[in-house]
Structure 1
Amino acid sequence: MSEAGVIHDIGYQRYTGQRLGRGAALTALYVHGLRAAFGFGRSAKAKIFPWMVAGIMLLVAVILAAVRSQIGEVIFTYVQFDDQMSWLIIFFVAILAPVLMSRDIRSGTLPLYFSRPLRAADYVIAKYAAMVTAVWLLLGVPQLIMFLGAAFTTKDGAQGVWNEVLDLVPGWGYSLLWALLFSGIGLLIASLTGKQAFAAGGIVAVFLLTTPVFGVLTVLPSTTAHQMAGLTSPMTLIAGIGAWLSDGPADMELDIGRFGPVYAIEAVCLITACLLLLLARYRKVASL
């Protein structure tokens, strides 16, 4: 007695719609990452920290704008605002980077991403662009509020508004520099583990451990060591570039002397190194 096979028609059909390709996949991944940065599409618990940080920074910006409109005194410039908010940015990056990177490692979705047509470079670009945008918005929107407060209360008319624009644009560029460097460092560390708590702790540790090194070098008798001390910490590295571009020290502790171009070169090299290491990391994953 022979056994006969039976084929059941359960309605599966071939996909006949439009295939959007790599560009659409990259855009979708970028949008998803940007939404995740502020908790959209996630639980209410996931929204607490990013919006708490954003709320604090917006409140500070409103206070600065109100003080300037009432007494005409500039407490923080747009560049100084970034420097004063640096620790909030560190904690924001420490929470966001693991969300963008570590969750995919833990859930095992990377093989699905890299099956086709998304490539490792596309994945890194989308995640990095989403993080840079989120950090820049966190700094840029409060700066815009400060600008509006100054522009609508200026006594110099159109010239006063134009002067504020000339101050705001470099401030936005400075915010972009913060976003580029901190995002690269944060994503690289987060890509090394699937546990978000470990990734967040590692990111904060990098900044905490480099800051005391700067403090030690600033008390050395050598003028050269003092002026190059800012190269040891990401925060003082960016502050040094800001001091170089504005032709003045950001604070009394940071004196970069003639080493401004060195600060800029290190920042570019550090950002590039983070991206190349990220690309190498995910090319290895994609090849598995």
Structure 2
Amino acid sequence: MATDNPAPGSPAPGNPAVTPPGDQTRIHDIGYRSYGGPRLGRAYARRSLYSQSLRGAYGLGRSVKSKVLPMLLFAVMCVPAAIMVAVAVATKLKELPVEYTRYAIIMQAVISLYVASQAPQSVSRDLRFKTVPLYFSRPIETADYVRAKFAALASALFVLTATPLLVLYVGALLAKLDFADQTKGFAQGLVSVALLSLLFAGIGLVIAAVTPRRGFGIAAIIAVMTISYGAVSTLQAIADAQGSQGAVPWIGLFSPITLIGGLQTAFLGATSTFPGGASTGPSHTQGIVYVVAVLGLIAAAHGLLLRRYRKVGQ
């Protein structure tokens, strides 16, 4: 015959609050307290993001594999300068084999490869893993993120392009070349590579921010840098061969590296790298157009990055 007795250990029908035998549940006060320290705010967050991005551009704080390519490219940028210095000192040359303003133009392929490898590394992973909104959940805004990333890549590029110039400058002083001339040339070279760093960083980041796929970003940056320079150089050579030297400087406005080359020819005392030499270099009036174009592209890149990250940060 069935009984209404409950199973051992279950609550009695009229007393559901009875604790089953052996239950050791306890509530402990482990002392959680609210944070009472200093609030470092947006400026600290922006500096931290800049520092982390700059270190990442050379693989610092990352795996050994991540350090190989940027460090290799840095060495490739510096070795020719060191060789030129050794030759100048050993043979007692009266001037360096290459002008300070011309060095980055010669090494443009290495610079473009560095931008192609590091711009996607800086932004593509945040887009791919959708971590951008997490940045904006802290006291940091879209403009802070964009400026930190832009400044970090531009700084990394400046280190890449200015260090060989420093090697040339120190070598020139060791070779006892004229101090005033070398200092002037070194300063002009620094201005040139500073503008180049800002321009290349802006272009690289805009292209890399379009896609979360790092491989696509690398290929697109290389294509833009290479195809634009090849097309502009070809058109300039055709114009010079046909006697249209006046068109050569205007054609130079359509490639990042020829923009820098024309600007430094007009205002920084550089020898023209355009076909036809000095006769096809931009005048001061055309040089103003070059300056406006460079600054306009830098500003446009910043604006496009702001627009992109306002969209993906929502």
TM-score (norm 1): 0.92
Q: CA deviation at 1:194?
A: 1.1
Matches within 5 A, 1:249-260: 249-253=271-275, 255-258=280-283, 259-260=286-287
Cα distance in 1 between the residues matched to 2:125 and 2:148: 15
The unaligned stretches of length 5 or more in structure 2 are 1-15, 20-24
Following the alignment from structure 1 to structure 2, what is the Cα–Cα distance between the partners of residues 59 and 223?
36
Structure 2 match to 1:184:
202
Question: Is 1:193 the equivalent of 2:220?
Answer: no
| Matches of 1:230 and 1:249, distance apart in 2 | 15
Equivalent residue, structure 1, for 2:41: 21
What is the alpha-carbon root mean square deviation over aligned residues? 2.1
Deviations 1:121-155 (A, max 9, x none): 00011111111110001111111111111112216
Q: CA deviation at 1:223?
A: 3.5
Alignment partner, residue 133 of structure 1 = 155
Matches of 1:81 and 1:97, distance apart in 2 = 22
Q: How does 1:1-288 map to 2 (within 5 A)?
A: 1=16, 9=29, 12-71=32-91, 72=93, 73-154=95-176, 160-218=178-236, 219-220=238-239, 221=242, 222-247=244-269, 249-253=271-275, 255-258=280-283, 259-286=286-313, 288=314
Alpha-carbon separation, structure 2, partners of 1:252 and 1:111: 46
**Deviation (angstroms), 1:94:** 0.5
Classify the secondary structure of the residue corresponding to 2:210: coil
Alpha carbons of 1:191 and 1:7: their partners in 2 closer, same or farther (altered >3 Å)? farther
- Kept in 1, the 8 Å contact 2:57–2:156? The answer is yes
Query: In 2 relative to 1, CA 257–129 (structure 1 residues): closer, same or farther, beyond 3 Å?
Result: closer
191-200 vs 220-229, greater mean Cα deviation: 220-229
Asked whether the equivalents of residues 274 and 281 of structure 2 are also in contact (C-alpha less than 8 Å), the reply is: no
1:52-82 Cα shifts (integer Å, max 9, x gaps): 0111111111111111112214211111111
Structure 1: unaligned runs, 5 residues or longer: none
Q: Give the match's secondary structure for 1:206.
A: helix
Structure 1 residue 6, shift from structure 2 partner? 7.8
Kept in 2, the 8 Å contact 1:210–1:233? The answer is yes
Q: Deviation digits for residues 34-63 of structure 1, max 9, x if unmatched?
A: 100110011111101000011111111111
* Count of matched residue pairs: 283
C-alpha spacing 1:2/1:225, structure 2 compared with 1 (3 Å): farther
Identity of aligned residues (%): 37
Secondary structure of 1:101's counterpart equals helix
Deviations 1:217-238 (A, max 9, x none): 2213434432311111111111
CA distance in 2, matches of 1:119, 1:252: 43
Give TM-score, length-normalised by structure 2.
0.84
Whether the aligned pair in 1 keeps the contact of 2:84 and 2:97 (CA below 8 Å) is yes
The structure having more radius of gyration, on CA atoms, is: 2
**Deviation for aligned residue 1:14:** 2.0
C-alpha displacement of 1:2: 6.1
Pair 1:262–1:200, CA change in 2 (3 A): same
Instruction: Summarize the Cα distance change of 1:257–1:174 in structure 2 as closer, same or farther, 3 Å threshold.
Output: closer
Indicate how the Cα distance of structure 1 residues 105 and 6 shifts in structure 2: closer, same or farther if over 3 A, else same.
farther
Distance 1:195 1:20 in 2: 34
SS at 2:96 equivalent: coil
Question: Could you tell me whether the CA contact under 8 Å between 2:119 and 2:205 is conserved in 1?
Answer: yes
